[in-house]
Every structure is written in C-alpha cells, then in structure tokens.
Structure 1
C-alpha cells in the first residue's frame, strides 16, 4: 500500500494538556421495528429478503413514529444520558448535535434540543454536519473545547434517517434505520483520547450524496409535478461502494498507521474496534485490513440498519451496557463517511 495514488494529510501532533473523558452514554431506539419482507410487500418490490440481507447485512430496522421529529429522538437519548450521570442540563458548557436533515434547515436542531431539555441557560448549542462521520468530528471538537477550559459537553447524534429516502432503490430503501444516542463528555485529569486522525477525499464526492431543496428547484423545469413530489422522498443517492473499495482499504491502513504513530500503541494493544457500519461489507473490510477478528468488534447493523451519525455512540452504549467495554480498555473508533470523509480516534476507557 506504500505506492498508493491517494495522498493523505500528514499527522500533526496536538498540544493538548487538559483532557476529557466520557462521563455517560445512552441511546433511544424507537419501538417499531420492520423487516425486509414488510418493505418488499408494502412497496411491491421485486427483491428477496435473503438477497438484501446478504448484500447489505440488514434484516430489520427500527422506525420512528410519523409524529416524531429528529429533536424528539435526540432529546430522549440526551435525557437518559444526563440522568445516568445525575447531571443537570444547565451545567453544560455546550450542546453539539449531529443529524441527517434535522427538524429544519434553520434554526439549528441543537436549538430545538436545547429547548426540549428545558435548558435555563443560553449555553452554546450548534450542529456539526458531516453525515456518518459527524459524530467523530464532534467528539474531536469537544475534546478541543475541553482542552481550552470547557467543563462538560453533550453530544447528541442521529435521529430520523428512513423518511427522506427512496423506497424502491435497494441500495438505500433497506439500509437505514432510526435511532439516537448521546454522550456526556467532561474534564478529566487523565488522558483518554490517545490519538485522532481525519481526512477528506473529494475524488469520491458523488458516491453518497444527500440533495437539498435547491437541487430540486434547479431541476423543476425538467420534472413533472409528480416527479418533483417523489423527489422529496428520494434525497439520499448512493453509488456502488465497491468503486471506492481500494480507497477504503488505504484509508483504514492510513488511519490506523497515524493513530498508532501518535499513541505509541500497536494493533495488539487495541481491545475493541468500533466501525461505522455503512453496510456489512465495509465493516468486514475494515476489520480485515486491520487484521482483527469479528470477536474484537461489535455489529448492530443486522437489526438496526445504518443509523448514520448515531452508529458509533450506539455501539459505545451497547458495549458499556453489555459489559463488552470495560475500564482500562483501548477502543479504536473508525468512521467512513460521505465526502469521502472519515477518520479515527483511540480512546482509553
């Protein structure tokens, strides 16, 4: 891989002397679950459930109620997270939200979440976009805020991903599920984030895109009214991920190399690898490049689908809840996002 045609950014060492740690993590999963066969029957699709499961790794997913919004799901996860830590919302230094579309384009969904948490203090609340990778972007940003003096930051990720997608394109119709997860990050005397590394490569910009209303406006003269209405629920376009397979492999190798260079660790020192499950194959490819067996990871895509920015915090919550994550473990988190934009963090529990 040393002769790669992809040029990744050089690792820049951080000057961080004030540390942070995860104080609490929680998630909210909608009650309603639908399987592949239900989608096939409902939309009269010419696919077999077994084919869908084999190709993307999803058998079922949880779906929010029609009257729920992104901020509703985020608030339920955030409340659980704060309650677990016995932490009052007014003590927060900041609130950061990651979501797909959100309640509205403006105001930011973080403002809606702040209101639903009944915050009596006008703390800084804002969204960090970035699709699947936005949680790690927020985690990295929060660590830097803490390093400059913040005490406690709430990150709430996920929401409703299944609504604004095609119901006939098998690449997306069966892929996404709804969920939200939240983590509370606070100041620590000990270092927990041992390394971080991020990149973006526009060469695969069109591989996965979410269109905006402006895109529909630009195309309105060439579309019938029926086509325009259908497009409202067909906002996420996805190509064949295998077109970028070589890049994904190189990205995993490069992320790991830079994380190990900064942390001084080796792959044998990593106790658990958590990966955004864009689909089952990308999860398997990531572990294969790292030389890690499935027993050293966690997979939720089979029954949850791709929950976008909620994936990594959802995996963290599951790991803590089931005891698979224990104090003292070194956790490698890797994200593959749209853009293509991704990266990783090594976190010591």
Structure 2
C-alpha cells in the first residue's frame, strides 16, 4: 500500500509569456492547445538524481520512515544523470540507503506506471518489504529550444511514493495493472540520439497530431483492462491521475471511458509535461491538498514514446 508521497520542483518558473519573448508563440496559443501555463526548469546543479532524491526524502518523511526501512529503489526516467550508473543508485546513495537493489526503468512518460507495477511484483512475492518508487526528469536538457512546437510542452521535476507490503493491508495497494508497448511507433515520439547510435544526447522529436490521435484512440484499452482485472467500474473510481501531457488528451480520454471530469487531478497547467515525474507530482499535490484520502480508489495512466502505455488501479 502507499504509505508516503513526496515531490520536488526546481525554483525557476518559466511562464508562457517568458517563452513568447524568446520565440514565435503566445500564452493563448499554448493554453488553447495544451492547457499549460508554466513549467519549472532545473538549474545547472539540479540533476535528475538531485531532484529525485529531494522527492524521495520528502516521501520518506511523509511515511515516517528512514533509509534503513527501504530495500528497493526504482527510478523511472528518460533523462538519467549518466549513461551509467543508474540514477536510482545515486538517489539511493544520497539518502543513505545501503541495502537492497536500486535500478532505473525506462518507459518514457509511462515510466512511473511501469515502475509501480514492477515494485508491486517485488512486494507481493516477498522479494522486498518497502519500495521507493521515483519518477524524475530534466527534460529541459533534451528538448530543442528552437522547436516551438515541442519545447513549450516540457518541464522538470520529480515525484516519489513509498510502497509497503503489509500483511493486514486488506484490499489496499495496487489492485491491478495493464501495460502495453508497440515499437512500431518510434518515429512519432523519440530522441534523435543515444550512446549506441549517434554517440550524442540528441533532442526530442514528436509528431504531435499522431501522438494525440493514438493517446485518445488507443490508450484507453489499458484503463478498461485495469478496471476489469480489479472487478470495478469507472463509476466507482474516486480519482483519475493521468500523465500530465495535454489537458485535451486527458479530458477526451476520461470522457471516452466515462470518468467524470470532476474526478480528474490536473497539474499540467503548473508543471507542463514532466514525463515520468508527472503522475507522482500530481499524486503528491492531490494527497497533500486533501483530495486523495485513505481508502480512495485511484487510477494512474500514461503513454510514452515507443509507444509504451499503461494504467494501474491503487486503493489508497
């Protein structure tokens, strides 16, 4: 079950008006198409692991736990500090965790959903007792700041949750998860570089219309399957916490499944698209402002490059 949440955002805020001073765009254009009003941009010394460690530390404090209580760290990220070692190991070291395993998971924007599902498998099989699941990104470092169609979409940040295996948890924790990938769609959302191909970091490239159509038309299959696996319906859901990429995609997906819009947790206006960090950031916001309460049924859902997409149902 989820016993703690935490988040970390860089201090620097870049508004749509700020971007309009640098390129041919406007606040109205960005808001109309995406719902984004601002995003946070990491400082030079704020690496992905720095942001991730801050969020993880906050989650540990929220759970009332220490480094000695954690035996698994998974970091979902597409912007690691280094090719290796894993960013998760740097978060582990920063927190003073000296036991258990730590590794990264790469499923782009769907990474946190994949990481939660993976951590759940460790916990339910007894391979770990408590898992720190982090989503952390510095996407500002891989966007092309001369491409106004993509650079306005992304921001930096990190979020984390602590999952704990409890003998008396009852029907709480991860109830179901549905994951999908289809590598045939690589050209629609990818980074044009890498150590094994160009030897460079590369920049993010996206066919926005194709991603929008796929996200609305296809991705809802994992939501339906997650509901079916758990034996619940959309009407029983308390909160829908999707990947925060585009408000129009989020609302269209919810409408298609029959999830009431008042049940949607939206942070895309404040954070922009923070890739794997967006869901845990939104979870932390909704839990700390009192919306998500113990016993609530929460759906997380995301699609990322590749394409990879997934959904998971959590009883809080």
TM-score by length of 2: 0.93
Is the CA contact (8 Å cut-off) linking 1:158 and 1:181 kept in structure 2?
A: yes
Distance in 2 of aligned mates of 1:236 and 1:144: 32
1:103–1:55 distance in 2 versus 1, CA, 3 Å: same
Structure 1 gaps, min length 5: 1-20, 218-230
Is 1:144 matched up with 2:147? no
Pairing of 1:112-261 with structure 2 (within 5 A): 112-119=90-97, 121-149=98-126, 150-188=128-166, 189=168, 190-192=170-172, 193-210=174-191, 211-217=193-199, 235-242=203-210, 245=213, 248-252=216-220, 254-261=221-228
Equivalent residue number for residue 306 of structure 1 = 273
State the structure with more CA Rg.
Answer: 1
1:292–1:163 distance in 2 versus 1, CA, 3 Å: same
Is the CA contact (8 Å cut-off) linking 2:37 and 2:269 kept in structure 1?
A: yes
| SS at 2:241 equivalent | strand
TM-score by length of 1: 0.84
| SS at 1:96 equivalent | strand
Give how far 1:175 is off.
0.7
Query: For 1:46-105, what per-residue CA distance to the aligned partner results, in whole angstroms no more than 9, with x for missing partners?
Result: 222211221222111111112211111111111111122221112211111112221100
Structure 2 gaps, min length 5: none
1:159–1:243 distance in 2 versus 1, CA, 3 Å: closer
1:85–1:63 distance in 2 versus 1, CA, 3 Å: same
1:86–1:244 distance in 2 versus 1, CA, 3 Å: closer
Query: For 1:121-172, what per-residue CA distance to the aligned partner results, in whole angstroms no more than 9, with x for missing partners?
Result: 2421111111111111110111110112121011111131112211121222
Aligned residues: 311
1:294–1:147 distance in 2 versus 1, CA, 3 Å: same
Equivalent residue number for residue 232 of structure 2 = 265
